[in-house]
Chains A and B, each alone.
Chain A
Amino acid sequence: MAGTGKKYEERTLDVLIVGGGGAAALAALEVQRAGLTVGLVTKESALVGGATIMAAGGTCAVFSPGDTPETFQADILRSGQYLNNAKIVKRVTEGSAGGVFNLETHDFLLDRRDKDALRTINHGEGHSYPRGYLDRREALGVCHALSKALMRKEIALFPETIVSKLLVKENRILGVVAMSLASGEYRVFNAKAVILATGGLGAVYKLTTNSAVLTGDGFALAFEAGAELVDMEMVQFFPIAFPYPAVRRGKMIGVCSWFGPDVKLLNGLGERYMPKYDPERKEMSTRDIVSRANFIEIMEGRGTKNGAIVVDPTKHDQAKLTKFKTSIPHVYAMFRDVYGKRVAEWEEPFEAIPSQHFFMGGIRIDEACRTNVAGLYAVGEVSGGMHGANRLSGTALTEIYVMGRVAGESAALYARGEEIISPDTQGIDEEIGRLNGLFGSGREGVRPFELKAAVQDIMWEGLGPVRSGAGIAASINALERIGKEQIAGMVIGSHDRTYNRDRMEAIEVPFMIRTGLLVARAALCRKESRGSHYRTDFPERNDEEWLMNVVVKKNKDGDVGIETAKTVQAG
């Protein structure tokens, strides 16, 4: 800080939470309830945003008569093709209804019919029972109820602040180094425990339904700190998203079934191609198969001149259109703005593209959100294990409503028995030196957004819905080349300290490369196709050799170490 002789502001807390979505907020509230001091650092300005605020689908839980946590578990494991950590699945399913109803303790009301029943419980794809709670506010109502709870409980909040490094000594967390976007100042947080709740990695891909802030920071931070990561090859894609304008590109429209059984997908040549990929179910196939088909048609040059496929919903049931308008109103409003009135009434076909949607892999945790680093916890999309090789619809919010509280409880229990240990100033000085280097003084060179775009292109082409050994290897080379050669030449466009987004993006670029490399290395390791991971050189599922998890971790040389591990059983 100028004038004070000090390079950074310091703050000491029992537990620090990194992330700005629902999991982070629920964890923070739980730590405070346990009577400990807690702070929350988020890149966004909205106190509860992240991917949670964008969630459009339902929240699945054991609500229906006859349904049991065991049945729900079986459905999740089937969808995850048995790579899931069954202990985590057990905890989430058993706590599912309780996790949803617990939201009402924050001066909030679920979208109810009356005091005994929720208004809408949907029967979603892949579920044995109706489980999907739909809310007319989507997840917006929950986000704002939680953000009000954070404010009025006076939890220390550090919005628009990016964590650049976890401080670790002898496999134990001591705190973090961060930078405030608003002031440009560095901050050091000393903490007994740190919970990573930084969400997924959508923005590592060129096309994603996620927001631009989800650059995979948590995976890279955890890797550098020595944490293990699991199932990093498992990336979920969504079949139908906006191809334009730039600001909407990749954002979610829907899945084929929302348009009804008569919807047709056509390529740029006017051919209906789904019968080729799934002769039986055609357009009604699962979302990963449809995403893959859309990707292949475009990549092999059969897309429209805008590089898209065509969705033809003109033959439809009026009730489906009404449901589309009312159940996802914010998507419908954008749909109407982008394509115009006739398409909005499904009277004409429209162009669409597939897009990255969710990440099943992540930091390896146990059913109490603990990692292999003492005091480091992970929860939500940044953690791996719950979803295995593919996520069952409507379980992302369920996971955070249950595990958010578990993470808070678990970290508080640990922190209660620990002392604060001040990190070495040398490590902090080195990190601040690295950041000052990233923000450099050069005026000519490549700006962070250009490097981000380069990484996003590589990931989409090599680690998208269709992969091959050769393609993945080429992606690894390309990512490593950017990491080695181009980061040193990166310049930030403006040298203002305050509210300079280039400085934040300069910190994100190495995170994106690291996270991308972890995805690539795991994908190269898994020589089969399973769930969302599809390789043209190994197109079949191979239970004999690959019914196991791929685990990555930093080895002694600082490189990516890869191992396979037995899946975790519930027993």
Chain B
Amino acid sequence: MKAKCDVWRSDPGAGVMGNYSTYVLDVDPTETVLGILVKINHELDPGLAFRFACGVVKCGECALEVNGASCLACEKAVEEEMRIRPLPELPIVKDLVIDRRAVFDRVLKLIPQLSQIKESTELRGLDPDGMDKFVRLTKCFECLICQSVCPLRPGMEEEFVGPLGLLWLGQMSMDPGKRPLIEQEINASLEMCLRCGTCSEACPCSEDIIGLAIDTLEKGT
């Protein structure tokens, strides 16, 4: 089949503002968006910058936006007309590539305990239900889709830890020795979160792990 792709291009470091490049190409209908980007880079435009690594829905590096919905490029099936953009509201390196480290650093800055508190092995004291919950809370791809869709813009501003921060707080709160040390961050974050569910809806994980984290933080267990 033929596919028409409008792909967002920008190079903030070189002062190049954004616009769309349009590509039309023949594609295998079972191909993914990542396959299309590789094909564009090889056959039509060697300068197109995009990121990927594993290609099998694991590493979360190829997250982007197709026709207004965030997704993993290696998972998303090709469509006849596609408008492909970088994840919204995150700092851009070039074209479809976002600055992942800057997004992580904003969360780390708001939760200094993550680096200050000594690591522990107390999680082993959890009851079987607690253990099950911890495993579910650590199924995240770290693709940053949640930070990008949150209306409070946690990827660009250091006020709210965002869904990823809530998830990390949720994981940390499972350790009974740590929960009291992050109480203030938990309360502040829960107060800011709008409970709009936008992040949970966009998350590519097979279950609602951000919802589970918020629930864990609210119940205090």
Contact = CB atoms under 8 A, between A and B. Distances in A.
Are A and B subunits of one complex?
yes
Interface of A: 44-46, 49, 53-54, 104-109, 111-115, 135-138, 140-141, 144-145, 147-149, 151-154, 157, 159, 182, 211-213, 244-248, 251-252, 329-331, 333-334, 337-338, 447, 449, 492-494, 496, 498-502
B46 A494 contact: yes
A248 B49 contact: no
A46 B35 contact: no
A246 B28 contact: yes
B88 interface: no
B104 interface: yes
B94 A245 contact: no
Interface in B161-175: 168, 171-172, 174-175
A392 to B, nearest CB: 24
B54 interface: yes
A145 B137 CA distance: 12
Given A105-B119, A152-B115, A112 B138 contact: no
B42 interface: yes
Given A141-B139, A159-B101, A247-B74, A44 B53 contact: yes
Interface string B189-219: 0000000000000000010000000000000
B124 to A, nearest CB: 5
Interface string B37-54: 011011000110101111
Nearest to B178: A107
Which one of B93, B94, B95, B138 has the greatest number of beta carbons of chain A within 10 Å?
A: B138
Contacts, number: 166
Interface in B86-110: 93-95, 97, 100-101, 104, 108
22 contacts: A45-B100, A53-B54, A54-B54, A104-B121, A111-B131, A136-B139, A137-B135, A140-B141, A144-B140, A151-B104, A211-B56, A247-B31, A247-B35, A248-B56, A337-B30, A337-B77, A449-B42, A492-B46, A493-B46, A494-B47, A496-B49, A498-B49
Contacts of B30: 244-245, 337-338
A303 B175 CA distance: 55
B53 A154 contact: no
Nearest to A250: B55
Contact of A49 (B47, B61, B138): B61
Nearest to B174: A109
A157 B59 CA distance: 17
B180 interface: no
State the 4 A-B residue pairs at the shortest beta-carbon distance, nearest first: A493-B46, A247-B35, A494-B47, A152-B115
Contacts of B17: none
Contact of B13 (A145, A338, A498): A498
A152 B32 contact: no
A211 B56 CA distance: 8
B54 A107 contact: no
B57 interface: yes
